[in-house]
Structure 1
Amino acid sequence: MTERPLILVTNDDGITAPGIRALIDVMSEIGNVVVVAPDKPQSAMGHAITINNTLYLNKVSAEQAVVTEYACSGTPVDCVKMAVVEILHRKPDLCVSGINHGSNSSINVIYSGTMSAAVEAAIEGIPSIGFSLCDYDWNADFTPTKEYIRRIATEVLKNGLPDGVLLNVNFPKLAEDAIQGIKVCRQAKAMWMETFDKRKSPSGREYYWLTGEFVNQDNGEDTDEWALNNGYISVVPVQFDLTAYHAMPQLQNWKL
């Protein structure tokens, strides 16, 4: 690629989140960056889109700024759609989402707004990556992730990705010299065992607060959970084709 690539940056924690600021810093070294991100936190929105409400898009960067930034009132997926159709008027060379404050390994990929933004870009035919750090602290240290993000993004720009595939990249909460390396993994079989904390408001009305425990049911040493628990960065190739091909022969034998 002779000229600097056009890179779309988005997230689900909101345009002011430290994680996206760190990602913008790295991407600005690689290419020309346009940011379209939610104007407020949109965590766990999954692949939601706005269809029964208005959408607002506000440019928040100065005219002379190196990076062009827009805040969108919608979901992370809305941000990607708006970026391609209303701002860029073309497909960028790469879409990166994150850096998420917290893990998006295993089953969390289903709920994640960070990953859903990357999935939407992949649906559009854009090479895309979701980045997450296993640290929910708003003031988390993203410095150890930067060199690895640069390396992974550069490889995707250089080599591309298979059709219909994007990357889910998770970083352990470790100092840079403690990270053991990168492992290409499969998604661990795990789930959330949810409970609802039932409470009462000052007016006496009952309400519920979702809580729960993450349960890893997978002992494999080739999973993202194993990698993260053993000091590795996990890279999982993700596809948005949800067809269970292995189940088709069984269903074809049914008397439907």
Structure 2
Amino acid sequence: MRIILTNDDGIEAEGIRILANVLQNEHDITVIAPDTQKSACGHSITIYRPLTVKEYKIDGLNSKCFSIDGTPADCVKMGINKLVDGKVDLIISGINDGLNVGTDVLYSGTVSAAIEGAIYKIPSIAVSMDRDCGKIKYETAALFIKKLLNNFDITTIGDDVVLNINVPNIDYSKIKGYKVCNLGTRIYSNIFIEKSSNDVEKVYEIQGKPTDDIIENTDVYFINNGYITITPLHYDLTNFKLLKSVENEFKNQFSLK
């Protein structure tokens, strides 16, 4: 397959290098990633200045690599429309340094890059690793993605769906299995630390830890129990369960006349 690999941790991140190295012998890989760290940038794109693209060399990779001074979504747009010749078969964003479970997906540059691929009707995967338990074992996620591509036809689930995959930070041999499941809830207890101040302004740094709501059969629950989680996502945020009832309430309560 012709695959674009991207991330939000930057072109020099260990996760994207390990994933590219595992996949490059079996697939046509192009690495296109931000030139600097872009975590939690969401689905932003760059529209008020030009983007600078540079060819980049990553040790151990034979694939073409590019850095872009933009966002993960920029990287996918540029890759599809300019940098990759021919039809792109798959977008993979990751391997991210840290989970993207629950409500993390709303902030995540990793997930947003994959969603950008889905907007272009290209099957897309976002893959992230837990960072608990010391050094991140990116090889576990890379081996899972390799096995997935070799044994599962991702096109069967639709070309506008993102598979959001999260992997425990343990050896591959210790993975209990995988679960296709709902998003859970992850809320951060944010603390704003004052770093400096003067008569005109104050400077704050945000710090915080996640507070997980451990509800059974969600990604937050299963990742904490040693399973790889797979959650299908779509960029249409319409709440279809409420659509009709909201329409009825507006008819009952509100008129422009």
* TM-score with structure 1 setting the length: 0.89
Cα deviation per residue 1:44-71 (whole Å; 9 max; x = unaligned)? 1100000112200011249xx7301111
1:195 CA displacement: 2.8
2:152 is the counterpart of 1:152: no
2:194 is the counterpart of 1:198: yes
2:90 is the counterpart of 1:94: yes
Instruction: Provide the residue aligned with 2:232 in structure 1.
Output: 237
| Distance in 1, Cα, partners of 2:74 & 2:133 | 26
What SS is found at the alignment partner of 2:25? helix
What SS is found at the alignment partner of 1:20? helix
Cα deviation per residue 1:214-251 (whole Å; 9 max; x = unaligned)? 2223422x111111100011111111110001111211
Instruction: Provide the residue aligned with 2:30 in structure 1.
Output: 34
Instruction: Provide the residue aligned with 1:83 in structure 2.
Output: 79
Structure 2: unaligned runs, 5 residues or longer: none
2:181 is the counterpart of 1:180: no
Cα pair 1:194 1:210 within 8 Å, conserved: yes
> After TM superposition, where is structure 1 displaced by more than 4 Å over at least 4 residues in a row?
136-139, 155-159, 201-205
**Equivalent residue runs for 1:1-256 within 5 Å:** 5-61=1-57, 66-135=62-131, 140-157=136-153, 159-200=155-196, 206-220=202-216, 222-254=217-249, 255=251, 256=254
Structure 1: unaligned runs, 5 residues or longer: none
Cα deviation per residue 1:99-135 (whole Å; 9 max; x = unaligned)? 0001111111111111110000011011110111101
Cα deviation per residue 1:158-193 (whole Å; 9 max; x = unaligned)? 654324211010111112222111111110033223
1:248 maps to amino acid: L
1:157 CA displacement: 4.2
Cα deviation per residue 1:128-157 (whole Å; 9 max; x = unaligned)? 101111017996231222221112233454
| Distance in 2, Cα, partners of 1:11 & 1:73 | 13
What SS is found at the alignment partner of 1:29? coil
RMSD: 2.3
| Distance in 2, Cα, partners of 1:14 & 1:86 | 20
* TM-score with structure 2 setting the length: 0.89
1:200 CA displacement: 1.8
Equivalences, count = 249
1:232 maps to amino acid: Y
What SS is found at the alignment partner of 1:104? coil
